[in-house]
Chain A
Amino acid sequence: DSGVTQTPKHLITATGQRVTLRCSPRSGDLSVYWYQQSLDQGLQFLIHYYNGEERAKGNILERFSAQQFPDLHSELNLSSLELGDSALYFCASSVELSNRYGYTFGSGTRLTVV
């Protein structure tokens, strides 16, 4: 157990639907990062939050949004889902902003869009 908790572990939903993925960072970590991993794309950076504020954005689609709450947990919202959104979604956390100590990843949420 890495200390980063992601729920749910698996999610199957239909095209056009909306889902929310949840992440609780490791205790004491203020930064939360979201990544998407599909077979042909590798790990793609989506977004970074630090202590409730958005700090960096990657190739995140407009249909996707995220937020980090005062208790530091984060949610990734995916809407108008398409077949191509099927992937593993990972959350990672780190203790500070600059990431000098490596990220701790959760076990991921496997999203299947049918």
Chain B
Amino acid sequence: SQKIEQNSEALNIQEGKTATLTCNYTNYSPAYLQWYRQDPGRGPVFLLLIRENEKEKRKERLKVTFDTTLKQSLFHITASQPADSATYLCALVYSSYKLIFGSGTRLLVRP
């Protein structure tokens, strides 16, 4: 079955630095790959979507890359702020229209 791997260890960075989160998957490539933000006790919030034929997508301070050869997506937050502290989830969409989530990586941005 398809597996999605995100670093289970928290990423702890200084305010102003760039945060880079990794999402790796096994088997075949998804049609779309999405990133969500989740705060404790809240529902995930959709951030960005990238298609399998796209290499990179940007939105304000966010950037997502998608490498189907490496079977990996990188999620970058530039000029990070303490308000960016949250858990970030990678999710993959396949032809059955199911959205499968990774377990998420917690980001802590120190002031």
Query: Which A residues have a C-beta under 8 Å from some C-beta of B?
Result: 2, 4, 33, 35, 42-43, 45, 48, 55-56, 58, 88, 90, 92, 97-108, 110
Are the C-beta atoms of B103 and A42 separated by less than 8 Å?
yes
Q: How far, in angstroms, from A105 to B49 measured CA to CA in the complex?
A: 15
Question: A92, B43: Cβ atoms under 8 Å?
Answer: yes
B97 within 8 A of A: yes
Q: Please indicate the chain B residues that have their CB under 8 angstroms from the CB of A105 in the complex.
A: 43-45
A21 and B47 alpha carbons, distance in the complex (Å): 26
* Chain A residues whose C-beta falls within 8 Å of the C-beta of B102 in the assembled complex: 42
Verify A33–B42 contact, CB threshold 8 A: no
Residue of A nearest to B94 (CB): A56
A56 touching B43 in the complex, CB below 8 Å, given contacts A42-B102, A42-B104? no
Q: Chain B interface (Cβ within 8 Å of chain A)?
A: 32, 34, 36, 41-46, 49, 89, 93, 96-104
Known: A90-B43, A108-B43. A102 touches B101 (CB 8 A): no
Q: Is B32 a contact of A100 with CB atoms below 8 Å?
A: yes
Cα distance A90–B104 in the bound complex, in angstroms: 16
Question: How far does the alpha carbon of A42 sit from the alpha carbon of B30 in the complex, in Å?
Answer: 20
Please report the C-alpha to C-alpha distance between residue A99 and residue B93 in the assembled complex, in whole angstroms. Answer: 8
B44 touches A101 (CB 8 A): no
Q: Which listed residue, A90, A99, A107, touches B32 by the CB 8 Å rule?
A: A99
In the complex, the chain B residue whose C-beta lies closest to that of A97 is B97
The contact sample of 26 A-B pairs, CB cut-off 8 A, is A4-B43, A35-B101, A42-B101, A42-B103, A43-B44, A43-B101, A45-B98, A48-B97, A48-B98, A55-B97, A56-B97, A56-B98, A58-B98, A88-B41, A90-B44, A97-B97, A99-B93, A99-B97, A102-B34, A102-B36, A105-B43, A105-B44, A106-B43, A107-B42, A107-B43, A108-B43
B101 and A33 form a contact (CB under 8 A)? no
Instruction: Report the bound CA distance from A85 to B99 in whole Å.
Output: 21
A103 x B32 contact (CB < 8 A): no
Let me know if B89 and A43 touch, CB within 8 A: yes
